[in-house]
Amino acid sequence: RKEVEQDPGPFNVPEGATVAFNCTYSNSASQSFFWYRQDCRKEPKLLMSVYSSGNEDGRFTAQLNRASQYISLLIRDSKLSDSATYLCVVNMGKYNFNKFYFGSGTKLNVKP
Amino acid sequence: EAGVAQSPRYKIIEKRQSVAFWCNPISGHATLYWYQQILGQGPKLLIQFQNNGVVDDSQLPKDRFSAERLKGVDSTLKIQPAKLEDSAVYLCASSRLGDSNEQFFGPGTRLTVL
């Protein structure tokens, strides 16, 4: 089993749609969680961290369910510019050391 | 603030040749990561430095890959000899010491092994 698993998609949605991605992770002791965005042939960039209480940034909402070991990302009112691959990242390091595991990414295509 | 710099951006070599990549992290970032990203997959950690010491190289194919970070700043990653399956993007990232949050990535080096 992979440490972090995501549905690769693609998710093809019209502009204005709401879309949700899930990600599961294997290590129940994982410290921290993130969603990164990666545009085609570009480097990953942090979209948002995922907190236990859930967090929202504009049209983006991230949730963490530790009991079920999954993370979700909800995008409301999708824009063409949201088309990208969304990477789920889990820090499974111990003590003061980070050890980041990436999912394979979920591809989103927002169409006019 | 200047970002993570990497060079070269592209490299094409034949199998069994050697290649080296260079990374200059963001100033003041003690932790440096090298990732391999194969097409269609997420980045996979190869090696992680904290200052000039290795903290994790468990997924580095040590028979052909090596990396160093002299003086705790710049880093080089070398492959010798290269195999076809090494074709990938090699990403360098850095983060502040003790910060479990954001990694900043460089633009990557796209390696093609023929």
* pLDDT single digits (tens) B34-66: 999 999 999 999 999 998 899 999 999 999 999
8 Å CB contact of A99 and B48: yes
Chain B residues 15-54 with a CB less than 8 Å from chain A: 31, 33, 35, 40-45, 48, 50
Q: Which residue has the higher pLDDT, A99 or B12?
A: B12
Nearest to B4 by CA among B37, B39, B29: B29
- The residues near A3 (Cβ < 8 Å, ≥ 6 apart) are A25, A26, A27, A90, A92, A101
Identify the pLDDT of residue A103.
96
Q: Report the share of chain A in percent with pLDDT over 90.
A: 81
Residue A1 has what pLDDT?
A: 78
Residue B111 is predicted with a pLDDT of 98
- What pLDDT is stored for residue A90 in this prediction? 94
Q: What is the pLDDT of residues A38-85, one digit of tens each?
A: 999 999 999 999 988 889 999 999 999 999 999 999 999 999 999 999
Give me the residue label for tokens 């990477």: A87
Does B56 contact A99 at a Cβ distance shorter than 8 Å? yes
Whether B112 has its CB under 8 Å from any CB of chain A: the answer is no
Q: What confidence score (pLDDT) does residue B98 get? A: 63
Contact B108, B91 (CB under 8 A): yes
pLDDT value of position B32: 95
Å between B19 CA and nearest CA of chain A: 21
Question: How many CB contacts within 8 angstroms connect chain A with chain B?
Answer: 51
Q: For chain A, positions 28-87, list CB contacts with chain B under 8 A.
A: 31-32, 34, 42-46, 49, 87
- Low-confidence residues of chain B, pLDDT below 50? none
Q: What pLDDT score was predicted for residue B100?
A: 58
